Structure 1
Amino acid sequence: MNAPPTSGSDRPLEGFRIGVTAARKVEEQIGLFERRGAEVVWAPALSQEPHTVDDADLRAATEEVLARPVDLFLATTGIGVKAWFAAAEGWGLLEQLRAHLATSEILARGPKSVGALRRRGLRELWAPDSEAFDDVLAHLRGRDLHGKRIVVQEHGQSLSMAAHALRRRGADVTTVTVYRTVSAEDPTAMFHLIDEIAERTVHAVTFTAAPAVAALMDAAGSTGRREEVITAFQADVVASCVGPVTAAAFELWGVPSIYPDRSRLAAMVRQLEIELPSRARGLTLELAGHQLLLHGDEVLLDGVEVKLSPAPLAVLHLLAENPGHVVSRAHLLAALPSGTAGSEHAVEMAVARLRAGIGTRSVQTVVKRGYRLAVPTS
């Protein structure tokens, strides 16, 4: 991919092409990018409206919740809480449901579910900073749940495995499915974006929901280009996520991603506004007493070009993403080009070749953890 020229501060993304996978409220995101000069490729990964479950099924689940006292209520999405309470209002059960849940200990996955609860007069006892449901479960890990009745509002994808894990600890779990996320009805735009990613004609792709990551990877698999997409994300195309929950969906594929400190759309756009021009200019590092310039596949050490084969170059790119931080052998192995022998020995060989190219002291081994670049510490 040819890097675009750097641009003025009023249009910092001039010359960059950015894929957007959001389905709902997409106009705001596209507008933020276009005002900054970017060209947007829109390919909704999911249906523009969540797929609401059958009304009778949801009412039956609600009546099951109301049948017995609730000890713990786990609220996972704002849209799910709002839709459930709206449906209960239509059945004439809203006040009964609200009063019933008010007697329980309420845990919320993030600020949107917190907001939806408070609008109905309910207060959460605790919510994780990470907005990750796994952290809600971790919060419960040390507690005795035997005999406790837990109601879990699902967040678009099945939480049956989480429910099974809670039941193993003696809890009585009821899941309430309000809606399901489903792939976009017409995959044409998604197939086009997959081609652009594989051919590296986009510089970044944004994701605002974990199911969008799964939908893109499923679509890439159906076109036979999944490995190319993964390789492109590992090398040239930035996978930009709105927060850690969405970013975690990429870990399964060994794809590095970036996300802002605050899980907000504007923060994600601002991060790319800084990240993409920085990558276009190249990355300069002080490394074991030398200056290393990394610009795409071009590597200069003290101004002299260093030729690296694909495997050590992939290792260098991954180590340079977080200079000075340890990267595990497993993550380095996942970043190696397809066709490389799938073992930690392949990582060791790639690191050895990298050291031969940029200096033996440039890459440090951290015993039982992995490797890191020898950059000066502040």
Structure 2
Amino acid sequence: MTMGVTLVAETGSGVPPLAGFTVGVTAARRAEELGALLERRGAVVVHAPALRIVPLPDDAELAAATRSLIQNPPDLVIATTGIGFRGWVEAADGWGLGEDLLDALRPATVLCRGPKARGAVRAAGLVDAWSPASESSAEVLEHLLDAGVDGKRIAVQLHGEPLPDLVEALECAGADVVTVPVYRWVPPDDIGPVDRLTDAVIAGSVDALTFTSAPAAASLLARAAERGLRDELVAALRGPVLAVCVGPVTAAPLQELDIPNVQPRRSRLGAMVRRLEAEAPNRTRGYPAAGHWLELRGHAALVDGELRALPPAGMALLRALTRRPGRVVGRAELLRALPGGGDDEHAVETAIARLRAALGAPKLVQTVVKRGYRLALDPVSGPAPLGGQCVSGDYRRP
């Protein structure tokens, strides 16, 4: 779990775009790279790999596919991942079949799903013919179907999942498809981080959850089902927690459950993080109060552009107050909002005092004698919305 972010405002250009937000990372591969991209933009990152990759250098199925392709070389090769293609060649070398495999693949037309696969193909001494701009298997399939594959023998290097849609579509179009399972996804050795991340998502203490592979999304949901929590997890992902996927293939397990998600135009980690950056403003609320501008983020608040880290109790109270901006919220209701509950209303007074100190602007929260507390909404902003709800865009910075 990575929690190393200092909530301090940047000078000049304002606070980092993801500061104040907690982002869950389910990736096993390239997780450090993704975490670093998020942390550089100010996010607190919770890492819980939902799967781990197991190479298959001694797998009988991989060996059989390799020998089949050596004996009857393919017309087309689809390389889906760099790590997978390299692992295939290395496994063949271990069996003494490395050169035979490359000789069988050399005359074939090699299609690469993305730049890492293309780099691995070229490193093996092969020549790649084409790669899709989207880096998606769907565009590879469309390209092949447009060109015609009837009677073609096609080797498809898998990347941890079966790719049934691609394989079945090619076979229906008349191709002879040989799948090459180079590695498999299996549950992590330690399931504890996954369970803790799931609990945090359900509790609302994670603002966004990132997925870089369909198996990771499916595994997270399956583990939640084992614990009897799948409905709660789905509800959280349909509601306050934003699901961010690297591409449409990754999003498929979520879409099957009608879980909304956002994706970049290109299936790249950097593009995914930039898409999250673009969505972050939609996850904030802003209020003119007590002569200040208050903005709520996931686990922090901005006061006049300065980021203020808030304790969980303070954040819970502030959210309760901003649900009805400008209106009085009674102590009993605020007590129910506090983490852990309890029956001592003095706990509310203590938490309010700490909240005021953390905000650095005590007048933002006004005491209403014998009634409770209210967010000191500036009267120039007009009356609070009917129903007491404030969503992003109801109040604008002057």
Aligned counterpart, 1:52: 56
Equivalent-residue separation in structure 2 for 1:86 and 1:51 (angstroms): 11
Distance 1:24 1:175, change over 3 A: closer
Equivalent-residue separation in structure 1 for 2:278 and 2:148 (angstroms): 46
Equivalent-residue separation in structure 2 for 1:245 and 1:239 (angstroms): 14
Aligned counterpart, 1:150: 154
Equivalent-residue separation in structure 2 for 1:211 and 1:299 (angstroms): 41
Q: Which runs of 5+ in 1 are unaligned?
A: 284-294, 321-378
The 5 Å alignment of 1:180-219 reads 180-219=184-223
Aligned counterpart, 1:16: 21
Contact 1:76/1:113 (<8 A) preserved: yes
Distance 1:21 1:144, change over 3 A: closer
The alpha carbon displacement at 1:79 in A equals 1.3
SS at match of 1:50: strand
Give the residue type in structure 2 aligned to 1:259: Q
The 5 Å alignment of 1:272-283 reads 272-281=276-285
What number of residue pairs does the alignment pair up? 299
The alpha carbon displacement at 1:45 in A equals 0.4
Q: Which runs of 5+ in 2 are unaligned?
A: 1-6, 288-296, 298-318, 326-380, 394-398
Identity of aligned residues (%): 45
- Bigger radius of gyration, 1 or 2? 2
The 5 Å alignment of 1:106-125 reads 106-125=110-129
Structure 1 residues 50-101: Cα deviation after superposition (integer angstroms, max 9, x where no partner): 3426344422221110112321112222111110011222333323322321
Equivalent-residue separation in structure 1 for 2:216 and 2:30 (angstroms): 14
Equivalent-residue separation in structure 2 for 1:194 and 1:87 (angstroms): 36
What is the aligned counterpart of 1:305 among 344, 368, 385?
385
SS at match of 2:45: strand
The 5 Å alignment of 1:134-173 reads 134-160=138-164, 162-173=166-177
Contact 1:130/1:244 (<8 A) preserved: no
Equivalent-residue separation in structure 2 for 1:213 and 1:260 (angstroms): 17
The alpha carbon displacement at 1:128 in A equals 1.9
CA-atom RMSD, angstroms?
3.5
Equivalent-residue separation in structure 1 for 2:274 and 2:177 (angstroms): 41
Equivalent-residue separation in structure 2 for 1:36 and 1:170 (angstroms): 48
The 5 Å alignment of 1:304-323 reads 305-307=385-387
The alpha carbon displacement at 1:282 in A equals 6.0
SS at match of 1:256: coil
Equivalent-residue separation in structure 1 for 2:38 and 2:248 (angstroms): 21
The alpha carbon displacement at 1:307 in A equals 4.1
Structure 1 residues 297-354: Cα deviation after superposition (integer angstroms, max 9, x where no partner): 9699996624499xxx9xx99xx9xxxxxxxxxxxxxxxxxxxxxxxxxxxxxxxxxx
Give the residue type in structure 2 aligned to 1:28: E
What is the aligned counterpart of 2:38 among 33, 50, 58?
33
TM-score using structure 1 length: 0.68
Contact 1:7/1:13 (<8 A) preserved: no
Structure 1 residues 151-200: Cα deviation after superposition (integer angstroms, max 9, x where no partner): 11112111355434433333222111111111212221111111111121
Equivalent-residue separation in structure 2 for 1:201 and 1:84 (angstroms): 41
Distance 1:303 1:267, change over 3 A: farther
The alpha carbon displacement at 1:236 in A equals 1.3
Give the residue type in structure 1 aligned to 2:108: S
TM-score using structure 2 length: 0.65
Distance 1:114 1:160, change over 3 A: same
Range that drifts further, 114-123 or 273-282: 273-282
Q: Are positions 1:88 and 2:64 aligned together? A: no
Equivalent-residue separation in structure 2 for 1:50 and 1:281 (angstroms): 44
Q: Are positions 1:254 and 2:258 aligned together? A: yes
Give the residue type in structure 2 aligned to 1:95: E
Equivalent-residue separation in structure 2 for 1:237 and 1:271 (angstroms): 15
